[in-house]
Structure 1
């Protein structure tokens, strides 16, 4: 999925966060227990931070201000009579792998109704198989409402489905204030054509670059499949 404004806002808040892991014999510890230890160790007051259950570490501690965060910056090992905690700054890279897309693709979607002519609709139809990089200028301007053209990235063009059904929920209010609304759906068949596929040679394994069927050679596909050359 693409980075969102919500992710950026969350990362800004989490830049003031610490993760805490119960160490040693790992007794049962509550968020309130952790808060009490932080109060006594760092001189915090109520409202300076919030404590949340978290995985794979045991707790996520969000500090309310940068000044308070600076008081406990870095890694810490703190303890009381019953348990001990290992603390370190939150980092989005801590449990993440690294990857990339092996192919650049150009797709053409036909059948999207005018009232659903949006990027979010194409993302919904294509699912996780394609990351949409940009829309064709005529798609973005709506000059051409017959074919929804886009460029994107994919792991394997063969995994991109060639047909889908777009189902849009319609909610009709009840006839009276006490009546439940009527929920129905409008269903639109969508055709998906792969117009072009190029191997991203910086990402693709050498076996992809030398596929015998010619996939990824950059030539336009006449029938929606990669040209076998």
Structure 2
């Protein structure tokens, strides 16, 4: 059985979730709370597998603060945020606080049940629209100027990039790094794909921008 704790300031919402989830064969609601502090207390008593946490609770501790505190106290308990806010800012904040996912209160019942099972299995869950928006935003940042793409570059690729920017040929780079010319060409190809660049001058400009010519192999 998946043990679930409900934390929501609306009694009607808790009652509806109680009826819905207790009707699912492998789920059981083991407790309820109307605000964050009460939710933390109940979680410590019941040790649920999952906490369904309302994001906006005007009285007492809000969902984000409660999530952050609860994850420190019960790191093995997954927290699934219930929210009316279809907004990236809220999603990022919830994930940063330690939530395993977010489900809109307007979502179909079956989506909530699937989200609970997914999170209970150790996966993260975001409703489909949120997933698309987060991916679009991530890809958009990568396309801006390659600044975020720097995190995708391996240490070896950074060495190759530095030497390319210093004007070394593929053969010279291979000799310095004690690798084959073919491997150098592969690293350069990967660099260009990750940085979305097509020419050597673009790589040199990028290396200068990143300050790579101020250090590296001599």
Name the TM tier (shorter chain): under 0.3
Highest RCO, 1 vs 2 (Cα 8 Å, sep ≥ 6):
1
Q: Would you tell me which structure has more strand in proportion to its own residues? A: 1
Give the TM-score taking structure 2 as reference length: 0.26
Greater C-alpha Rg:
1
